[in-house]
Amino acid sequence: MNLEAFQKIAASNLWGNLLPEIYLVALCLLLLVFEMVFRRQDLLLLFRVALWGQVLLLVLMGLSYFGGFPSGREELFGGLLVQTPLTETMRLFFLFGSLLVSYLGTRFLRARNLARTEFFAITLLVTAALMLLVQSNQFVLLFVALETVTVGFYVLVAYARTSGYSLEAGLKYLIMGALSSGLLLFGIVLLYGVAGSPDLAGAVSDPLHFPSLAQFIAAHPDNTLVLAGSLLVLSGIAFKVGAVPFQIWIPDVYQGAPTPVSAFLAVSSKAAGIIVLLTLVTGPFAALSGWTIPLISTVAVLTILYGNLTALPQRNVKRIMGLSGIAHAGYLLMGVVAAMTVDWAVGAIVFYLFTYLLASFGVFGVMALLSEGQDADQELDHYEDLAKRQPLLAAALTVGLASLAGIPPLGGFIGKLVLFIAAFQAGLYTLLAFSVVGVVLSIYYYFGWVREAVFRVWRSAEGAGSATPALPEPRSLTGLDRTALVGLSVLTLILGVAPFVLTWFLQL
């Protein structure tokens, strides 16, 4: 590499473009300093620093985009990462998700004798890594960022160390996560070896760089090692998404993990996996669309059917959310397939992710507020007659579940509608038909939960209520609790009635 090439790479090292990630890491370090100064780990102080620090960053990023959302494509750090309108949108998405996880974490930690500083610090680090992950333009950065996220989740899933459920979930996630990392790394090694081989025509000097790898694969789309490496890489990403056949860990991990962590996995981790998958199939693997389209379509169908059918008999609400999350991953995979032929389908995926974020955190928020004494064992029977005991919680739960089911006029309905239109325009008629069947199936278990919460169900002929005791009432709903639940519900309704609000800001 000559001097001119070094100067070109140095000129692309624009650290100012990574200020959000640097800010989050600095905020993490600040929390650790506070722990050393305030030995008692004052939860309120830690929460205020973490929460308002993220609010400030969210406001600053929002204001910077308000005048004109970033456009175009810019490669930084010698092509190591790339920034596009999609990556900028997802940075906002992950920051908003981290803010909500921090809020739920405070409610969870308040009732338990667990380390407090580390929860917020790890959440911030994972969020920064998620931001870098979706900006990856090279396999080394992708793998390092992905493993940073995964290691952070290893700790967060097993965070409730006094709970056998949480420790079991952490062990299962560790084993399955190590397997997926191995598949991903093996796939990367195969692609690196074949694309950099001097024995093949069109070998590239940087086979880990996505644009360079795309050129090589376009010249050798039928190479056995290329196909094997690509399949292994997609398999590793499929684990993060929770797609069949890599979904087996989800119910147990979602049930055992602390509720805020389950929400983090359900929303941010899944969203990152979908965006990375979208980047790969429309970037370095674009020339392999002849087999990636039928492959991902088949996986999407199986994922939708598995998630919805296995959720039907479930009574544990955290397992229901985990299994329904598998189904939502199937719908998003349908969007990924559509995006390979329909350009605007990328915007449909992003819109769906935002509606999914609002609805999911609304539901998990209610679960967290009711789980101060019982987290992993929440059953549908515990929610019986919640509307009379806690009307606000029941209303927020109903809005969130109805949005996840795709009921108008909520945001989830518009999210599914735009995905279905994109799939129709892409000619994915069979996949679209199975998706509609999945939506119909999901209404049964979503509204079974709503029935328990809103309408009293008498369990015996004598008119006695359920033998299962209700969950203990939350100590008190603070102003922030009410604001968060009402805000999520209102935003869900706004995206259903006026979806142009989000599309206008993000220029989707």
The mean pLDDT value for 415-434 works out to 93
Using CA atoms, how far residue 200 sits from 190, 196, 206, 364, in Å, is: 14, 8, 14, 52
Q: Band of the pLDDT at 478, cuts 50, 70, 90?
A: confident
Q: Which two tokens stand for residue 502?
A: 């989000």
| For residue 294, cis peptide bond before it (omega within 30 degrees of 0) | no
Q: Any bridge partners for residue 379, and if so which?
A: 316
Q: Which two tokens stand for residue 181?
A: 């990392």
pLDDT for residue 6: 64
Output the CA angle 233-216-137, nearest 5 degrees: 55
What residues contact 299, with CB distance under 8 A and at least 6 apart? 238, 243, 244, 330, 333
Distance, CA of 88 to CA of 110 (rounded, Å) = 34
Segment of 37-46, 452-461, 487-496 carrying the highest mean pLDDT: 487-496
Pairing, β 74-76 against β 81-83? antiparallel
3-state class percentages of the chain: helix first, strand second, coil last, to nearest 5: 75, 0, 25
What angle do helix axes 289-311 and 429-454 make, rounded to 10 degrees?
20
Q: Band of the pLDDT at 129, cuts 50, 70, 90?
A: very high
Q: Which two tokens stand for residue 53?
A: 């620090």
Q: Band of the pLDDT at 24, cuts 50, 70, 90?
A: very high
Q: Band of the pLDDT at 269, cuts 50, 70, 90?
A: very high
pLDDT above 70 for 140:
yes
Distance, CA of 371 to CA of 367 (rounded, Å) = 6
Mean residue pLDDT of the chain comes to 87
More confident position, 506 or 183? 183
Distance, CA of 355 to CA of 414 (rounded, Å) = 9
More confident position, 14 or 342? 342
- Over the stretch 320-359, which tens digit does the pLDDT of each residue have? 999 999 999 999 999 999 999 998 899 999 999 999 999 9
Q: Please report the DSSP string for 99-125 in residue order.
A: HHHHHHHHHHHHTS---SHHHHHHHHH
Least-confidence region, from 70-84, 237-251, 295-309: 70-84
Q: Please report the DSSP string for 260-297 in residue order.
A: HHHHHIIIIIHHHHHHHHHHHHHTTTGGGHHHHHHHHH
Looking at this protein, which amino acid is placed at residue 309?
L
Residue 131 buriedness (CB in 10 A; 0-12 / 13-18 / 19+): buried
Question: What's the pTM value of the predicted model, to 2 decimals?
Answer: 0.92
pLDDT above 70 for 473:
no
- Cβ neighbour number for residue 484 with a 10 Å cutoff: 22
What residues contact 211, with CB distance under 8 A and at least 6 apart? 79, 137, 283, 284
Distance, CA of 504 to CA of 441 (rounded, Å) = 33
More confident position, 465 or 72? 72
pLDDT for residue 446: 93
Cβ atoms of 100 and 41 within 8 Å: the answer is no
In percent, how much of the chain has pLDDT > 70?
A: 90
Looking at this protein, which amino acid is placed at residue 446?
Y
More confident position, 12 or 236? 236
- Cβ neighbour number for residue 307 with a 10 Å cutoff: 27
Burial annotation 163-174 (CB, 10 A radius, 16+ → b, else e): bebbbbbbbbbb
